[in-house]
Amino acid sequence: MTDTRRTQINDLSRTQLERFQRHLSLTGFGPEAQLRLLDSRVLVIGAGGLGAPILTYLAAAGVGTIDVVDHDVVDRSNLHRQVLHSEASIGRPKTESAAAVMRGLHPEVTVHEHREPIGPENALALVETADIVVDGSDNFATRYVVSDACEIAGKPLVSGSILRFAGQVSLFWSAPDEAHWPAGGRGPTYRDLYPEAPDAGEVPTCAEAGVLGVLPGVIGTLMATETIKFLAGVGETLLGRVMTYDALTASFREVRLLPDPDREPVTSIGADVAGLGGGPGAGAAAGDACAVEEDPALHPVEGETDPYTGHPYGPEDIGIRELHAAVEAGRIAGVVDVREPWEYAAGHVDGAVNVPLGELWHGQEVPGLDEASEDRPVVLYCKIGVRSRQALAVLRHRNPDAGLRNLVGGYEQVKAVTEEPSRSQ
């Protein structure tokens, strides 16, 4: 990073001198590095699981300006891993909750809230003002968009991801300086690690597969560390290396990453990931790909893309409005919740029976299936529509003529249009 420092040590307030004294006295860091942090501007994508430790530690370390992008609001299900927020934050914009915490740690920090998704239309403008970008998003489409914008703008990018019990982190930079990339030439980017996006629904989100609550803390803290090192000009960054962490075995691994010499430089943003589930324009927040909005699944049109899974709508997909109408008219043979029992217990559709997907795989019978027809089908649902599609395929293989429907948007869509979802006592 080019040293364009403006702040001098005499400019620091007494409280800042007290706050950063462990940095100021740290051999190999000291006042010079601290002043670089104060003059730095960081763009952070997502104020969720990864964003929580990233934003907390960047603010506490003294980064002068932080832009945070997230258009989601705090939900109670976030709190087991998104420790930046609390019960008192539920229903508030995540950027607002995060900004309050950051200002509490460092009152002099400048925080810019961007309560909007990041997509091809705004990514470059958001990226261009930053010294470094930190991507804490939870879906492939957003990661490709952010990576493309950083490659075009020549900005360094700290990227991390988590799923179940494992995570990874790296630093990408298409236009590195000689100090960080002595070999010269183009540096590695996210597209060198993942040249092609996975098919829609191929990789589950954290909402579908789950994630160990403490894991974002481990990976997010590593991401914050890489960001601080880069800005302060200390140590060796992860540029050209990908670090992976397995929480179950308490082990770290590292692989080398070089730029693909045959890959053409990026000239447009996210051109090949449009419609990929969970990404920009799909109604998902940057910090939580599981977030949903009401409108897209109300009246699914065959052939258009399901924003929750990335699959095209088919003749077996129905929206929540259509389900409500069919129930009222008595044109439903049954409603089956294929989520896990604990998910069902937390809230479910009135009258639904719980038959988890795993039990369906092992031959569990579905109530009402024998009486189901195309005019009076059994409706399957899960959280957002991924597992219910799998359940439909299992049951269709078992009984090709059964009347079956998949509720797009799943229970998240039910909650979006119902003020008082059914809850078990």
**Which residues does the annotation mark as catalytic?**
206, 382
Amino acid at 404: L
Structure-token pair, residue 163: 């799923």
Residues in the chain: 425
Contact, 316 vs 404, CB < 8 A? yes
Q: What are phi and psi of 222, to 5 degrees?
A: -65, -40
Q: Identify which of 149, 67, 57 has the alpha carbon closest to the alpha carbon of residue 106.
A: 57
The two three-digit tokens of residue 394, written as one number: 């299992």
d(CA 225, CA 136): 14
Side-by-side strand order, sheet with 317-318: 317-318, 404-407, 378-381, 334-337, 353-354
Q: By C-alpha distance, which of 27, 113, 13 is closest to 71?
A: 113
Which of 239, 215, 213, 237 is closest to 225 using CA atoms? 237
Regarding beta strands 241-246 and 251-256, do their DSSP bridges make them parallel or antiparallel, or are they unpaired? antiparallel
Going by C-alpha positions, the residue among 53, 104, 57 that lies closest to residue 81 is 53
- From the number of C-beta atoms within 10 Å of its C-beta (0-12, 13-18, 19+), residue 61 rates as buried
